[in-house]
Chain A
Amino acid sequence: MTGYDTAGRIQNTYVSARREFGANPNFWIRYFTPSPAADLFHEAAVAESRGAWDSGGPYVGCISAPRQSRLSGSAAEGHADAQAFAAALLTAYHAVRPLVLPANGQLYCWLDQEYSTSLSISYWSAWASYIADYNFAGLGTYPLYPCLYCAPQSPYPNCSTIAKSRGVNKPVAIWSSTPEPCGSLTRPPRWNAAHCAVIPTKLWQFGEQGVCNLTANVDLDVGAPGFAMATHCFRLKYRP
């Protein structure tokens, strides 16, 4: 199952992406507060959702990319960033009436750790714990699951940090940004995502726009064999 992540507007992007790849994505992954480009969905959630619907990929995944030096920091910083992330997800959920939680009750919430960023165990544990414990919309189902986007082969602490995490603080999944062999939406490379020792990689960003010289304003992602990323995204029941 393939899809896109982008810091561009979905409604301004999907036509050129369809032209370039000749197919519809299964999902879109969007940036949420605190993060660069979080304003796109936060301030225009309905327009973005219409774009996702019109693209043929009515599933919206969630990532947050806080100021990266904070990821080296304290539990208070991790807790604060997770609190804002969860609040932004709740805001989007209420802003778009047909936006619903995954049927399996597991919304994957990705923390963006870039290649040159170090992750401290204090930050990660507080971030993950808050996400896992968040009583989303008062539903009592606790549907948020902490996950980590990273480059497992980076020399900066990432896998070694999450290896120390325990219980619900363990990330449910890794989204690997390496390697980048490129490919297309309809012809992704054979599964070869980098991985950490203890947590499975379930999503692979196999083609970044800049590295792969893509015309459309998207990065390309593919799920691990047997894993359907769309089932861990917000779903649009109908066009808002």
Chain B
Amino acid sequence: MRSRKRGNSVWPRGPAGGGSALSRREVLAGGIGGGALLAFPDLSSGARTGISGHGAARYAFIYGTPDPGEVPSGSLAAAMYPPPRTAATRPVPVATKLAGAPVSSPDQAVTALATVDMVHGGAKITLTLLDATGATVAKQGSVTVTGVPGDAHVLVTPVFAPGSAIVSLVLAITVPVSKHLVRKGHPHTGHPVPRVATTWRTHHALAYFNQRSGAMSGPFHLSDEPSLALSTAAANSSDLLLWTTREPQPDDPAAIRAQASLSRLSVFPLGSGKARLSTSAPAPWPGGEPVVTLPTGDIARLVRGRHVQVCSARTGEVTELEIPALRPGRAKPSAVTMQARPDGTVFMTKPGSGVAVLADAGDSFRTKTHIQFPVPASPLGAPWSKAVLSPAGETMYVLGPAATGGLCAYHVGSGKLAASYSEGRQYHGLYQLPSGALLAVRPENPRLAFFSADLSPLGTADTNLHVSAIY
């Protein structure tokens, strides 16, 4: 890993320098990944002076794609909390060429980044934990997967375990197994054109990083080849639950028709490469669906945009429940999100249907509150966070209607509109920072717009990243 490298693919610091704890020398750069990260300090609610560098309580991180021509894929950066509107400050680069999107710990204290470097004899995977209070590297560990060719794809998914210092790494290792000359019809003429086609095979492996000791263990290779690289994983204080899917083989249509056997759920004790439980998993295939760890240690995944599958970490048994308010669909599919809250409730959103639900996970996901709102612009596009719940749970903030843009606030108890703000701009993503400030994302600079909890504009900031997510 070329960490702490002076890279060419980072941006100059903003005009105000940002006041960030990061210097340009501290930018992390992976090898074969995409992705970059920027960081910006959030302010405590009592220090919202709008003056950069004052009273920073924690940083937040921006993940996205740099303007064309800078790096080939996503990046991560840190940005200043917005200074007065007359002196915009740019976020500060943190990392480029990430192997995948970052992952935040349940308490949002640290953010995990994974980078992959092809080294002699294998792939070196490095996990970096960024401390949100200083936007500095808190811990870092590496593991090398030997025997991986240079043109392999290694997908790395960090998984935090609430109540444990162990961070699991789920690795999907896809290697070319053959290259052969084939003939493929030209898209315009249909005439066969010779080309070299590659056949790939995927299996998974696990590694574990101990945040206390800094030790990395693994890799533990799983015997699940051929598998799809996409998987879903979540952990509680003792176990890692991993959903995988066997790759359907072209010469095995009978097995494909028996789809139930294609997906599996395996339960690994944290630190182990041997599953203590492995069983067929109910549809749908894993990959990309929201998943949360419940206070009981069970895992809930939101599937089909309307069903919650609660998986017992002890037995692997799955109970499926429908959330009635999420049932209505439209022609356009919608992003869906799910967030576990400290009080045992779960907040789910389906902006394409204009609905958000607060459900009681301890009571069979009974709907406690159901809020309807006008569908915002780009309900499926990035960032997927279109609605957020205030820390106390009394107010829901959501992007404004497609027709007017802006932001809206709803009273959770009544489901009624409590406030709105619009200057005619369309925002595409909405986050609430730990300070209570809201951060809305828009297409053109200044791409970051900050609001108070009562929807008063606080300021803006420029960034060279097209924002995909905020951490």
Report which A residues bind B (CB closer than 8 A).
Answer: 4-8, 31, 33-39, 42-43, 65-77, 79-81, 83-84, 87-88, 90-91, 94-95, 104-106, 112, 114-123, 126, 129-130, 132-133, 135-143, 145, 154-157, 160-161, 167-168, 172, 208-211, 214, 217-219
The reply to whether A123 and B34 form a contact with Cβ atoms under 8 Å apart is yes
Give the chain B neighbours of A130 by CB distance below 8 A.
200
If A77-B100, A91-B256 are given as contacts, then 9 extra A-B residue pairs at C-beta distance below 8 Å, sorted by A number, are A68-B468, A74-B99, A74-B155, A75-B34, A76-B116, A121-B72, A155-B443, A210-B402, A217-B330
Contact A76 B287, CB 8 Å, known A39-B304, A118-B65 = no
Give the chain B neighbours of A211 by CB distance below 8 A.
402
A39 to B287, CA, bound (A): 12
Residue of A nearest to B402 (CB): A210
Asked whether B73 is an interface residue with its Cβ less than 8 Å from the other chain, the reply is yes
A209 to B375, CA, bound (A): 12
Report the minimum CB–CB distance from A103 to chain B (whole Å).
11
Report the minimum CB–CB distance from B58 to chain A (whole Å).
22
The reply to whether B184 and A142 form a contact with Cβ atoms under 8 Å apart is yes
The reply to whether B73 and A121 form a contact with Cβ atoms under 8 Å apart is yes
Contact A74 B230, CB 8 Å, known A36-B335, A208-B331 = no
Contact A36 B330, CB 8 Å, known A43-B283, A76-B33, A76-B153 = no
Q: What string of 1s and 0s marks CB contacts (under 8 Å) between B212-239 and chain A? A: 0000000000000000111000000000
Residue of A nearest to B174 (CB): A79
Give the chain B neighbours of A114 by CB distance below 8 A.
378, 380-382
The reply to whether B68 and A36 form a contact with Cβ atoms under 8 Å apart is no
A115 to B172, CA, bound (A): 29
Residue of A nearest to B469 (CB): A69
The reply to whether B100 and A116 form a contact with Cβ atoms under 8 Å apart is no
Interface segment, one of B160-168, B190-198, B356-364: B190-198
- Among A73, A84, A133, point to the contact of B285 (Cβ < 8 A): A84
Give the chain B neighbours of A112 by CB distance below 8 A.
380
The reply to whether A115 and B378 form a contact with Cβ atoms under 8 Å apart is yes
A197 to B98, CA, bound (A): 29
A141 to B402, CA, bound (A): 44
Q: What string of 1s and 0s marks CB contacts (under 8 Å) between B235-248 and chain A? A: 00000000001011
Give the chain B neighbours of A66 by CB distance below 8 A.
288
- Choose among A69, A112, A161 the residue with the greatest number of B CB atoms under 10 Å from its CB: A69
Interface size counted on chain B using CB atoms at 8 A: 81
Contact A68 B382, CB 8 Å, known A130-B200, A210-B375 = yes
- Choose among A80, A135, A217 the residue with the greatest number of B CB atoms under 10 Å from its CB: A80
The reply to whether A68 and B333 form a contact with Cβ atoms under 8 Å apart is no
- Among A7, A38, A139, point to the contact of B332 (Cβ < 8 A): A7
Asked whether B90 is an interface residue with its Cβ less than 8 Å from the other chain, the reply is no
Give the chain B neighbours of A35 by CB distance below 8 A.
333
- Among B187, B251, B380, point to the contact of A138 (Cβ < 8 A): B251
The reply to whether B184 and A42 form a contact with Cβ atoms under 8 Å apart is no
A68 to B155, CA, bound (A): 17
Contact A33 B285, CB 8 Å, known A69-B382, A117-B382, A118-B466 = yes
- Among A36, A43, A80, A208, point to the contact of B155 (Cβ < 8 A): A80
A70 to B288, CA, bound (A): 9
Asked whether B182 is an interface residue with its Cβ less than 8 Å from the other chain, the reply is yes
Contact A219 B184, CB 8 Å, known A76-B153, A118-B468 = no
- Among B172, B187, B253, point to the contact of A106 (Cβ < 8 A): B187
A66 to B101, CA, bound (A): 13
Give the chain B neighbours of A209 by CB distance below 8 A.
330-332
- Among A42, A68, A115, A156, point to the contact of B284 (Cβ < 8 A): A42
The reply to whether B253 and A94 form a contact with Cβ atoms under 8 Å apart is yes
The reply to whether B197 and A135 form a contact with Cβ atoms under 8 Å apart is yes
A39 to B285, CA, bound (A): 9
Give the chain B neighbours of A83 by CB distance below 8 A.
174, 200, 202, 228-230, 247
Would you list which residues of chain B between 30 and 61 have a CB under 8 Å from chain A?
A: 32-35
Give the chain B neighbours of A118 by CB distance below 8 A.
64-65, 382, 466, 468
Asked whether B377 is an interface residue with its Cβ less than 8 Å from the other chain, the reply is yes
The reply to whether B187 and A172 form a contact with Cβ atoms under 8 Å apart is yes
A38 to B185, CA, bound (A): 28
Report the minimum CB–CB distance from A151 to chain B (whole Å).
9
The reply to whether B382 and A133 form a contact with Cβ atoms under 8 Å apart is no
- Among B63, B174, B185, B303, point to the contact of A76 (Cβ < 8 A): B174
A20 to B63, CA, bound (A): 43
Asked whether B111 is an interface residue with its Cβ less than 8 Å from the other chain, the reply is no
A167 to B245, CA, bound (A): 31
A80 to B247, CA, bound (A): 11
The reply to whether A75 and B32 form a contact with Cβ atoms under 8 Å apart is yes
- Among B182, B195, B336, B377, point to the contact of A36 (Cβ < 8 A): B336
Report the minimum CB–CB distance from B319 to chain A (whole Å).
18
The reply to whether B382 and A135 form a contact with Cβ atoms under 8 Å apart is no
Residue of B nearest to A122 (CB): B73
A191 to B183, CA, bound (A): 34
Give the chain B neighbours of A168 by CB distance below 8 A.
184, 195
The reply to whether B466 and A69 form a contact with Cβ atoms under 8 Å apart is no
The reply to whether B154 and A76 form a contact with Cβ atoms under 8 Å apart is yes
Report the minimum CB–CB distance from A73 to chain B (whole Å).
5
The reply to whether B230 and A72 form a contact with Cβ atoms under 8 Å apart is no
Q: What string of 1s and 0s marks CB contacts (under 8 Å) between B171-214 and chain A? A: 01010000000111101001000010111101000000000000
A88 to B33, CA, bound (A): 26
Give the chain A neighbours of B154 by CB distance below 8 A.
76
Give the chain A neighbours of B384 by CB distance below 8 A.
67-69
Asked whether B305 is an interface residue with its Cβ less than 8 Å from the other chain, the reply is yes
Report the minimum CB–CB distance from A68 to chain B (whole Å).
4
Can you give 15 A-B contacts (C-beta < 8 A)? A7-B330, A35-B333, A43-B284, A66-B288, A69-B63, A74-B97, A83-B174, A87-B248, A116-B383, A117-B468, A122-B72, A135-B250, A141-B184, A145-B187, A217-B330
Residue of B nearest to A220 (CB): B331
Give the chain A neighbours of B382 by CB distance below 8 A.
68-69, 71-72, 114, 116-118
The reply to whether A122 and B34 form a contact with Cβ atoms under 8 Å apart is yes
The reply to whether B303 and A80 form a contact with Cβ atoms under 8 Å apart is no
- Choose among A70, A76, A90 the residue with the greatest number of B CB atoms under 10 Å from its CB: A76
